[in-house]
Structure 1
Amino acid sequence: MEQLKTTFLYGEEHLTSSIALGLARGQIKGEISKKAKLKILESAQRVASIVDKGNIVYGINTGFGPLCNTKISREDTKILQTNILKSHSVGVGEPIEKEVAILMLILKIHALAKGFSGIALSTLERMLWHIENDIIPIVPSQGSVGASGDLAPLSHLFLPLIGLGKVEYDGKECSMKNLSKQLNVAPLTLGPKEGLALINGTQFIAAHAVKVVEKLKQALSHADIIGAMMIEGLQGSIKPFFAALHELRPFKGNQHVAGRIRTLLQGSEILEDHIDCERVQDPYSLRCMPQVHGASRNAWLHLKELLEIELNSVTDNPVIIDEELTISGGSFHGQPLAMALDYATLAASELGNISDRRIYLALEGNSEGVPKLLMDDTGINSGYMILQYTTAALASENKGLCFPASADSIPTSLGQEDHVSMGSISGRKALQVLNNVEKILAIELLTAAQAFEYRKPLKSGVLLDEIHKHVRTKVSFAEKDRVFADDIALAIEILKSGEITDLITKTMYANNLTWETLHRVEFETF
């Protein structure tokens, strides 16, 4: 994660995933710059001029979707914008996470503040007010097809602007109608095009993608660390990670992962102890980590790069270019992110898939010194046998979720919107898969730590030794069966907290170590 700013200027500065998360978590304050305010006022004036002149422009003085040829009178243009928020609020399902809703607000403010959408400055300021006062709209998770914008979720997001819908305030769900009275805050009256500008865009998809970029990056880091620990536990070879090998097939992700594994194994007595063993080569789940983890790294990089373009784009419709040019185009279409999110979902699933294979490998008892099922006294004890059942179930579930949502399209709006992205589903599935991968990696952490124990009194390098010690402060070595669900829960919390990646950084600094990685800037910042 890059060094965070203290203030971000909406509509002017360059937004990244890390800055968006910093804004959502209150680490950065967001403001609309003076330059952006001027552009916003100019754009709103252009819309007012269109209405005054009676020029026919979609969504300003026409109906929506298949009603695009229905002209709306000047007197009814404001009613039209309020009605669109009401009629398009058709979301169903469980509410999205509060942080995702905050991200949606942040991303929408930044897009509208660029001054091509005809939004009123007062409307953007009210959106900022919601963030600053932690009055966050409750948004259902289902109902967007990811084209013509994320219409349903964005409609729910902005119902509170007109005094409708539900919000979370002070830890409780309440109606905005009642809260407006309580706080003496009058609902807004939307001007021409404002309702359409609010709900037309990809902010539901993009907000999920921001979370995917963060969570997948963390999963990739954990997979390398835990995989390296499993190499030590099962006495795998370091040769498949040599730089000379990966120079001959120089995929960025492969080279980066190989370098990380080399660093993690640096100074290992365990490696030295079996350097002349008779084993010719390791199973794929150990020696192909650069290829598999690396391919997932490449997918992450692809998503990150596309998302950064989207975060700094205007994605509503129509777009007010200048006094003379208004374009009704397709910048709301979610396909660019939908396909990348589906790719990222597959990349995440594969991290879990190969992790499950390493867990199975650890249970086989084929590595000298490591007992079958990772426990000495089996028979009366089942050892770690059933933990792999859980990872098998999770890995299988993930495979079922890998069908690309973007491969489907169902026409909507009476055929006017005849190809849609389904990118909202792509984003939701990606996070679902990543949550499962986190659980798989947590179980691998437990099994790798158990196998690692059998290499004592030999030591690994300082990095993995510190990780092992840290795990043992939370989860003890298992000599007999116990309720392993408790261990799994503790391991999941270790990964959720990010504490092992923090510990790696701290240990490297204390021991004056540096990563042997290539392409570090691309893969370590977002």
Structure 2
Amino acid sequence: LVAQAMLDLINHDIVPVVPEYGSLGASGDLAPLAHAALALLGEGDVHLDGALRPAVEALAEAGITPIELAEKEGLAVTNGTDGILGMLCLAVDDTRRLLGQADMVAAMTVEGLLATDAPFAADLQALRPQPGQAVCAANLRAMLAGSPIVASHAAPSDDPRVQDAYSIRCTPSVHGAARDTLDHVRRVVDHELASAIDNPMVLPDGRVASCGNFHGAPLGFAADFLSIAVAELGSIAERRTDRMLDRARSHGLPPFLADEVGVDSGLMIGHYTAAAMVSENRRLAAPASVDSLPTSGMQEDHVSMAWLAARKLRRVVDNVRRILAVEYVCAARAIELRAPLEPAAATGVALATLREHIGGVGPDRFLAPELAAAEQLLLDGRPDDAVRAAGVELA
């Protein structure tokens, strides 16, 4: 009955109003989960069709009868890590997509900077058998396969540079480490999804036993670890973006990728935006799970703060998507400024997808809507779909 009532709310797009604060990640997410459960009883407030409504009215319009909780059910819907786990599940799925997009955009930057794909060679990567690193390098090779831009300076006689900067050359190491972190976090999530986490437990033999399964430490540690990894995706993306905008390090690109140098500011302010979010992410990556404040008359004398860890992780993920959107816009313009050289088939498709929504090189214009459009493309997975349709499946 309780599970069906929850499904009824979901199927009718009725969303309980849950305060942002109220959980310490131990004794479960008591207050937030209680607010969610109120809607099942026809109490509290909900969002429906973009409006704030009393739950009793929304349920009546949807033809849903409020339920009455029986023994143990009230405890079951409030005592546990379900709120933390839900946020972490969403972050895991978002990060999975971001990792492929980070590789895709980094490959475009390789072309935009006239960098080399040589460090991504499979035999070099195999010398350090970190799983995520191998996946990232394979993605970069696939994106750059057959690139006329890369081929234009592949011979030593065509390029006096010995090697590219770390933000290019070490992309598989950094992106790969984030992938391996995600794999660890996914395992923690899978275990938690299979867990009984309220207290006390009613066991098959009839025992009612007190336990501590509600403590959010496993999820808090995982959320904090993933925050660090995702923040680094944004950090290295910002460094690649900065190189494209600096004429001293971009190997022939105009300052800030401006159309009229000395008059236009180009994409300079876009980089400001990315740098600001990288700085915020560094603060958000500081672990919440090392904190604890005793409550409940010192009975609950050690708490996980996992709710806070999961909340800030969601913000880090959103910030990194925006940072990648800035790099995407800059890399696309940098590639176009390398004409008549052409990009690889896969990077060309990613560029063309962006150009369906955002104009190319030209005089300064209102930049915010273009960055927002690039962010929305990444959120919707449109470039991923286009690259896949072109025959490149990013892991």
TM bucket, shorter chain: over 0.9
| Equivalent residue number for residue 296 of structure 1 | 178
273, 279, 285: which one pairs with 1:390? 273
| Equivalent residue number for residue 339 of structure 2 | 456
- How many residues align? The count is 391
The answer to whether the 8 Å contact 2:288/2:309 transfers is yes
Shift of 1:451: 0.7
| Equivalent residue number for residue 327 of structure 1 | 209
The answer to whether the 8 Å contact 1:369/1:454 transfers is no
Quickly say closer, same or farther: Cα 1:376–1:201, change in 2 above 3 A: same
The answer to whether the 8 Å contact 2:289/2:304 transfers is yes
| Equivalent residue number for residue 314 of structure 1 | 196
Quickly say closer, same or farther: Cα 1:285–1:413, change in 2 above 3 A: same
117, 120, 136: which one pairs with 2:15? 136
Shift of 1:256: 0.6
Superimposed CA distance per residue, residues 347-404 of structure 1 (whole angstroms, 9 cap, x where no aligned partner) = 1111111111111101112333322221252111122222211111111011111111
The equivalences for 1:102-501 within 5 A come to: 122-179=1-58, 187-276=66-155, 277-365=159-247, 366-501=249-384
SS in 1 for 2:20: strand
CA distance in 1, matches of 2:173, 2:266: 31
Superimposed CA distance per residue, residues 423-465 of structure 1 (whole angstroms, 9 cap, x where no aligned partner) = 1111110111111111111111111011101222222221111
CA distance in 2, matches of 1:417, 1:151: 13
Q: Tell me how large the CA RMSD over aligned residues is.
A: 1.8
The answer to whether the 8 Å contact 1:252/1:294 transfers is yes
Residue 383 of structure 1 aligns with an amino acid whose one-letter code is G
The equivalences for 1:70-81 within 5 A come to: none
Shift of 1:190: 2.7
SS in 2 for 1:428: helix
The answer to whether the 8 Å contact 1:374/1:451 transfers is yes
Structure 1: unaligned runs, 5 residues or longer: 1-121, 516-523
User: Percent same amino acid among aligned pairs?
Assistant: 40
SS in 1 for 2:53: strand
Structure 1 range deviating more: 225-234 or 241-250: 241-250
The answer to whether the 8 Å contact 2:29/2:83 transfers is yes
CA distance in 2, matches of 1:131, 1:168: 11
Superimposed CA distance per residue, residues 21-74 of structure 1 (whole angstroms, 9 cap, x where no aligned partner) = xxxxxxxxxxxxxxxxxxxxxxxxxxxxxxxxxxxxxxxxxxxxxxxxxxxxxx
Higher RCO (C-alpha 8 Å, min separation 6): 2
Shift of 1:125: 3.0
The answer to whether the 8 Å contact 1:303/1:340 transfers is yes
The answer to whether the 8 Å contact 1:147/1:334 transfers is yes
Quickly say closer, same or farther: Cα 1:199–1:482, change in 2 above 3 A: same
CA distance in 2, matches of 1:153, 1:410: 18
Residue 198 of structure 2 aligns with an amino acid whose one-letter code is D
Shift of 1:183: 6.6
SS in 1 for 2:361: coil
SS in 2 for 1:414: coil
Shift of 1:234: 0.6
CA distance in 1, matches of 2:345, 2:24: 50
| Equivalent residue number for residue 31 of structure 1 | none
CA distance in 2, matches of 1:131, 1:411: 35
